[in-house]
Amino acid sequence: MFGKAIRKIAGIIHGPLRMIDYGDRFDGKCVLTFDDGPSENTIKVLDALKMGNVHGATFCVQGINARKYPWILRRIVEDGHTLANHTYDHSRLTELSAVKIVQQLLMCQDAVNDALGKQYSLTQMRPPYGSFNYRVLTIAHALNLAVLLWQVDPKDFLPENQRNSDSIVDTVFDRAVKSGCGGLILLHDIHETTAEVVPAIIRLLISNGMEFTSVKELLDTKYNTKDHTLSLSSRIWRTARQSH
Ligand SMILES: [Zn+2]
């Protein structure tokens, strides 16, 4: 009941919850998203984006790492990319109380502000492990955060894929281009091998006609073309209600 009331109030203040769900399709358009950093490998990623003339990537940062690498966080913003909230220390939000979820998100926001030395309102969040329930969605909505899942997951974090980086590039190509779903490509800028394959991913996608865009543009595309009431698939609300 309480969650419903919060969602209603958040709806009045912020409009409907905006979310990029696993099932969304964005033919011909994609966004590179990098989770868990920043780390020293992020610099290599930023150089690759610059070389490839790719703007508007999203970096889903952990507050704890924003505190460790404030200068890298500043460069992400200076290079024209977007920061998103990935909690303070990568907690699985579905296992936390509402108060702790809010704390995780606000502590990440504070770390970002401190690192940048100015107010930077995060407007997107990605739940660690893609793990969410009704409570997480309600709190994200109340904090005016769009929720980001993904379309393309090459599982770059797996040791076998770190050893065989071609598999990361191949999976991105299969999902984003061959299956034609485009959308958010999930990578992790804490891994050196991932940072090293970014130039190959950029080249491959561009040479196959993919356009790099931003999360904001994908969200605007989705919510301008669909009825808001359909913006969350029934599956999500069913799952969310069950786990509430
Ligand atoms: Zn993560």
Tell how far the Cα of 38 is from the centroid of ligand 1, in angstroms.
11
Structure confidence by residue, pLDDT tens digits, 67-86 = 999 999 999 999 999 999 99
Structure confidence by residue, pLDDT tens digits, 207-235 = 999 999 999 999 999 998 654 444 455 55
pLDDT value of position 243 = 46
Structure confidence by residue, pLDDT tens digits, 194-203 = 999 999 999 9
- How far is Cα 58 from Cα 126, in angstroms, rounded to an integer? 10
Tell how far the Cα of 151 is from the centroid of ligand 1, in angstroms.
15
pLDDT bin (cut points 50, 70, 90) of residue 7 is confident
- The CA–CA distances, whole Å, from 113 to 74, 107, 116, 125, 162 equal 10, 10, 5, 15, 32
Nearest by Cα to 154 from 133, 177, 127, 124: 177
Question: Beta partners for 147?
Answer: 19, 125
Specify the pTM. 0.91
DSSP letter assigned to residue 16: S
Domains of the chain: 2-243 (3.20.20.370)
Tell how far the Cα of 35 is from the centroid of ligand 1, in angstroms.
5
3-state secondary structure of 187: strand
Tokens 């984006």 locate to 49
Please tell me which residue in 81, 86, 188, 191 is annotated as part of the active site.
188
Q: How many CB atoms lie within 10 A of CB 2?
A: 9
Q: Are 151 and 25 in contact (CB under 8 A)?
A: yes
Ion ligand 1, residue ranges at CB < 5 A:
35-36, 128
Structure confidence by residue, pLDDT tens digits, 70-129 = 999 999 999 999 999 999 999 999 999 999 999 999 999 999 999 999 999 999 999 999
Nearest by Cα to 231 from 27, 10, 16, 84: 16
